[in-house]
Structure 1
């Protein structure tokens, strides 16, 4: 980042004060030739000629650094707008999709854009792009699965922005479903119903708090529930999961949601007073 003109000027002043030879020029001829019509270099006057020259020099340096900063910003902007088809690039573009509007391509950058940005039409709220060669583009709306019309529009938009030869598939599914049975050991002096309710809330909060396309880790879920006041232990006896269009399978340590998100479908916890 360019320094301010005052910072540059102060640095020059400090350097001038550091070099004592500038204050002890003994050759009168040298003084006349080098400092003709200038005040003594020891002068503290703000309008001393030597100070005015330093001001001019500092201003030129400052202007030079401003030009470099402007050039750097311009280059960074061009790099940022470059059409690089990474997973992150596709995810950012899908979030910009406006249902009901025609996509345009910039004549210079060839980047997709809309004539008018309207966030109320941006129906895709969560995106995850996974895979190499054949990539899955998982999407989710504000309330879950996109409607049929929205999904068809989003898929057509994806075809418009994909690079030639790229293999992409739009995944728009209802949530993966979970079945969870567990034994809950709680402090007996506390109200059982209150602890049960807090534990269910914790389970649902953990699941809903996962990033889109995040991984459910069994150990993390158990630790999260054990932080609930009154819980001494939480032992999962059954944990199964299924995609929206699949069948249930046992979850051993981790679960990767096919849709990108998940919800509880069957939940049963047996409270046990830990006496």
Structure 2
């Protein structure tokens, strides 16, 4: 880490004072020629050290992102995948790439990774979750495209590495809660504001991030005119923050109540479409019970 100009200057002065041949130039004045030159050269040395710090960070980041065989290596490789193009691998197997870079063919926009273990295989398996689209409007990659992606990753992976690439439909968020509001506006306006807040929450959440009950409730509580958010344990159906997850066959499971935190199967969440597999799952408006706060 670069020293400050003052630290460099003070060290230079101490070193200078050790030399008898320079003792006659000793002066406490900041305006003396010798002190002025010392300060100027201290500034030059500081600039050089700061430049070295930036260079070291850039080199470290470049090395970390190019280490072959690490989870980050495979995640970056998936982001570089170009549908329909043939990858070229170097003869030594240490690098790969496309002859022409075409970002319009890159269908993978989000990647996360984790490792899983089993009693059958001693080696860990690297699981890579992928999705396409923009944050807040993510979707699963089609089965046909996922087959091509797995062929691509199997070609560049290192011998003996166990990798599974998955891409699932978004997990459905069901905020079944009682929301108290001040009664100053119509119910329809409150529902619109809550929908907007929850969709903004979905838009800003990182891919494969944890879904916290407290953050979902806080998102609703911050809505204008909302006075309180309550989970009523006496109601039927049961209230709480629920998530329904798709499996690898495209079938959605029963909603699971979140105790405090949950990590989604797909890596992202969305509102129920109330159609197809999700026809029995309520959307945000159907999940939330509005109550005028008379207290």
1:124 is aligned to 108
For structure 2, the 5+ residue unaligned runs are 4-8, 27-31, 117-123, 232-238, 273-281
Contact 2:65 2:72 in 1 (8 A): no
Match of 1:180 among 175, 179, 191: 175
TM-score, normalization: structure 1?
0.71
For 2:184 and 2:58, locate their aligned partners in 1 and report how far apart those are by CA, in whole Å. 66
Match of 2:252 among 236, 246, 250: 246
TM-score, normalization: structure 2?
0.67
Contact 2:182 2:225 in 1 (8 A): yes
Matched, 1:260 2:267: yes
Matched, 1:91 2:70: no
Structure 1 residues 171 and 251: alpha-carbon distance in aligned structure 2, compared to 1, 3 A threshold = same
For 2:271 and 2:23, locate their aligned partners in 1 and report how far apart those are by CA, in whole Å. 85
Q: CA offset at residue 161 of structure 1?
A: 1.8
Q: CA offset at residue 81 of structure 1?
A: 6.3
For 2:89 and 2:262, locate their aligned partners in 1 and report how far apart those are by CA, in whole Å. 39
For 1:222 and 1:93, locate their aligned partners in 2 and report how far apart those are by CA, in whole Å. 37
Moved over 6 A (4+): 10-13, 71-75
Q: CA offset at residue 140 of structure 1?
A: 0.5
For 1:231 and 1:141, locate their aligned partners in 2 and report how far apart those are by CA, in whole Å. 34
Q: Which secondary structure does the structure 1 equivalent of 2:177 belong to?
A: strand
Deviates more, 1:247-256 or 1:153-162: 247-256
Q: Alpha carbon RMSD of aligned pairs, Å?
A: 4.0
Deviations along 1:77-133, whole A, 9 cap, x unmatched? 884465442222211111111111111223467122222222111110001111241
Structure 1 residues 80 and 182: alpha-carbon distance in aligned structure 2, compared to 1, 3 A threshold = closer
Q: Which secondary structure does the structure 1 equivalent of 2:271 belong to?
A: strand
Deviates more, 1:96-105 or 1:108-117: 108-117
1:29 is aligned to none
Aligned residue pair count: 244
- The structure with the largest alpha-carbon Rg is 1
Structure 1 residues 165 and 20: alpha-carbon distance in aligned structure 2, compared to 1, 3 A threshold = closer
Q: Which secondary structure does the structure 2 equivalent of 1:127 belong to?
A: strand
Match of 2:201 among 199, 203, 206: 206
Contact 2:130 2:166 in 1 (8 A): yes
Q: CA offset at residue 209 of structure 1?
A: 2.5
1:114 is aligned to 98
Structure 1 residues 23 and 194: alpha-carbon distance in aligned structure 2, compared to 1, 3 A threshold = same
Q: CA offset at residue 72 of structure 1?
A: 6.8
For 2:204 and 2:96, locate their aligned partners in 1 and report how far apart those are by CA, in whole Å. 32
Matched, 1:105 2:89: yes
For 1:139 and 1:73, locate their aligned partners in 2 and report how far apart those are by CA, in whole Å. 29
